[in-house]
Amino acid sequence: MAAMTCQTAHRPTPSRRTPLLLPLLAMLLWPAAAQAQPGNLAWAYTLSDWAAAMLALMATIVSLISGLHSREKPAGFLAGMMVSWVVLRAAAAPSAAGLQPLLMTLLVMCGVQFLLRQMNWKRSWIDHVLLAQCLMVPASLLLASGRMGVLSTVWQVVLGLELVAAMGWALWLRRLRLQETPDGALRRDAIWMSVLLLPTMLALLAELLMAGFSPPLWQLASPWLSLMLPALMLALGLQLVSQVAQARVDAERRGANIEQRMAERIADVERSHHQLAEQRLEQVTERERKRIAADLHDDLGAKLLTIVHTSESDRISTLAREALEEMRLSVRGLTGKPVHLFDALGDWRAEVVSRLGQANILAEWKSPAEDIEHTFQARSYVQTTRILRESVSNIIKHSGATHATISSAVQDGDFILTIQDNGQGISAGLDGRLDRGHGMASMKSRAKQMHGQCLVESGPGWGTVIRLTIPL
C-alpha cells in the first residue's frame, strides 16, 4: 500500500493499482499545461491555480475520511497541510505578508506529523517542538524589526530542511521495516513512496540552494519547483481515496465470506440438531420396543406356555404352541438385535424340515457352500421367517406336493431364498394374477418392506416356485 498507511499492523495491504495515481495526476494537470506557451512562466502559475483548486477539494475529502475512519486519523494532518498550502498561496499578496510565516510553520508541522505518524512513529518531544515553533516563528519575525528579511530567509531554510528531514526519515523507517519483514506489499509501498518523496526532497533542496546562492536562477525555477509539493500532496490524497475504496471492497468481500461461513455453520448446526433428534427418537423407540417385548414375554408368553402344558385338547395345545412361537418371533424383532445369517439358516432349516416331515412331504434343504459372514437385521429376520412360514403353510395346505426343495444363496450383496414344490400349482385368476389368496400378497408386501422382492411362478400341474430376494 502507499503512503497513507498509518498503522501497518492493522491496515489493508497496499493496492497494486497505486502506480495508476501518477497517470491520473498527470491527466488532472494536463488541461492547464495545454494552455502554456513555450518559454513563458505564466503556465506554471496556471498550474498552481489548478493545484490550489484541486487541493482545496482534496482537503475536504481527506478531512471527511479522517473523521469517519478512526484508522485514518493521521490523514487529518495531510488535510491541514493542503489547506495551509492553499491559504499560503492566497496570502502571497503584500497585504497578507504577515500571515505567511505562520502558514509556512503550520504547513511544515502538518507535513512532519503526517509523515511520521503514517509510519506509526510518534514522539512527544517532536510534538512540543513543532507547537513551540508555531509560536516562535511569528514572534521572532515581529521582534526582528529591521532584520526581518534575513530572519525570514533563515526560517524558510530551517522549515524546508525540517520537511526534507521528515521525508528522508519516513523513507528510512520504511527501509528498516522492509528488512525486518520482507513482504511484496511493503516493497511496493517503499518504491511508491520513494517515487513520490525523493523528487520532492530534491526540488525543495534545489529551491533552498538557489534562493541562497543564485536569486536570479531561483526566480526562474521557483514556479516550477514549487509545484512538486502540491503534486506530492495530491498524489497522497488520491492514494488515500484509492486505499479507502480498496478497503471497502475488501470489507465487502470479507463480509460475504463471513456470511457464507455463517450459513455453512447454521446448516451444520441444523444437521447436528436433526441427527440428535433422530437419535433421541430412535433411543425412545428402542426403549419402548424393549418394554413391549418384555411385557409380551413375561405376561402373554407365560400364559401361552401354561396353556401348552395344561390344555387337555391337542388342538388347543398346538394352537397355543404356534401362537407362542409367533410371539417369540415378534419379541425377537422388537429387541432389534442383528441375527447372523448362518444361525438364521439353521433355525429355518430345523423348522421347515420338521413341519414338512410332519406333513409327510420330503424336504430337501440346500445351503450355500461357502462360509457366510453376513448378518440379518432383526426386522428382516422376522419378515423373512414369516414369508418362509407362509410358503411352507401353502405347500402343506394347498399344493398336494410330495417333495419340496428349499435353497439359499448369497449373490451380489443379496440373499436369495428359493422354495419349490412338485404340487398341483396355483390357478391364475381371471385377470391372470397369482397373488390372490394363499398369503401371496402378504408375502410380497413383506418383501417390499425390506426393499426386496418376492416372485411367484406357478401353473396347474407343474408346481410352484417362490423366489425371495433381499438386500443384505
- Domain boundaries for CATH 1.20.1070 within the chain: 8-261
Q: By C-alpha distance, which of 293, 291, 317 is closest to 305?
A: 317
User: Residue 270 burial (CB < 10 Å; 0-12/13-18/19+)?
Assistant: exposed
Strand, coil or helix: 7:
coil
Instruction: Give the model confidence (pLDDT) of 415-470 as tens digits.
Output: 889 999 988 887 665 334 555 555 788 888 888 888 889 988 887 778 889 999 98
Residue 149: how many CB atoms within 10 A of its CB?
Answer: 10
By C-alpha distance, which of 31, 89, 102, 34 is closest to 59?
A: 89
Helix-helix angle 42-68:228-295, to 10 degrees = 30
Whether the pLDDT of residue 181 is over 90: the answer is no
For the chain, the average pLDDT equals: 77
Stretch(es) of the chain classified as CATH 3.30.565.10 = 339-471
Establish how many alpha carbons lie within 13 A of residue 336's alpha carbon, considering only the half-sphere containing its beta carbon.
10
**How many Cα atoms within 13 Å fall on the side-chain side of residue 147?**
7
Q: How far apart are CA 355 and CA 314, in angstroms?
A: 17
Which tens digits make up the pLDDT trace of 370-383?
667 778 787 888 88
What pLDDT, in 10s, does the model give residues 400-419? Answer: 888 999 998 888 888 889 99
In three-state secondary structure terms, 436 is coil
CA distance 450 to 452: 5
pTM: 0.50
Domain spanning 8-261, CATH architecture = Up-down Bundle (1.20)
Q: Which three cell numbers stand for residue 159?
A: 522549515
What residues have CB less than 8 Å from 5, skipping those under 6 apart? 11, 14, 118, 189, 243
Cα–Cα distances in angstroms (integers) from residue 468 to residues 107, 382, 385, 441, in the given order: 97, 14, 11, 13
Q: Locate 76 and state its grid cell.
A: 487529518
Q: According to the model, what pLDDT value does residue 16 have?
A: 40
Residue carrying C-alpha cell 426393499: 451
Q: Which residues contact 371 (CB under 8 A, 6 or more apart)?
A: 342
Supply the pLDDT for residue 262. 94
- Count of CB atoms within 10 A of residue 457's CB? 14
CATH of the structural domain 339-471, one choice from 3.30.565.10, 3.10.330.10, 3.30.1280.10, 1.10.10.10: 3.30.565.10
The C-alpha atoms of residue 347 and residue 343 are separated, in whole angstroms, by 6
- Beta-strand (E) ranges in 83-212? none
- Using DSSP's 3-state secondary structure scheme, residue 406 falls into strand
In the predicted model, what is the mean pLDDT of residues 214-225?
69
2 has a pLDDT exceeding 70: no
Output the pLDDT for position 7: 31
> CB–CB of 63/246 below 8 Å?
no
Q: Which DSSP state fits 74?
A: T
DSSP string, 297-338: IIIIHHHHHHHHHH-S-HHHHHHHHHHHHHHHHHHHHHHT--
| Residue 68 identity | L
Q: Which pLDDT value is given to residue 89?
A: 81
Per DSSP, the three-state class of 457 is: strand
Alpha-helical runs (H) found in 311-433: 314-335, 341-358, 378-394
Q: Using one digit for the tens of pLDDT, what is the confidence trace for 97-156?
A: 567 778 888 999 998 998 888 888 888 898 899 888 888 888 888 787 667 777 877 888
Cα–Cα distance measured from residue 186 to residue 174, given in angstroms and rounded to the nearest whole number: 8
Put residue 302 in one of left, alpha, beta given phi > 0 → left and psi -120 to 50 → alpha. Answer: alpha
Band (pLDDT 50/70/90 cuts) for residue 72 is: confident
Of the listed ranges 200-204, 224-228, 323-327, 330-334, the least confidently predicted one is 330-334
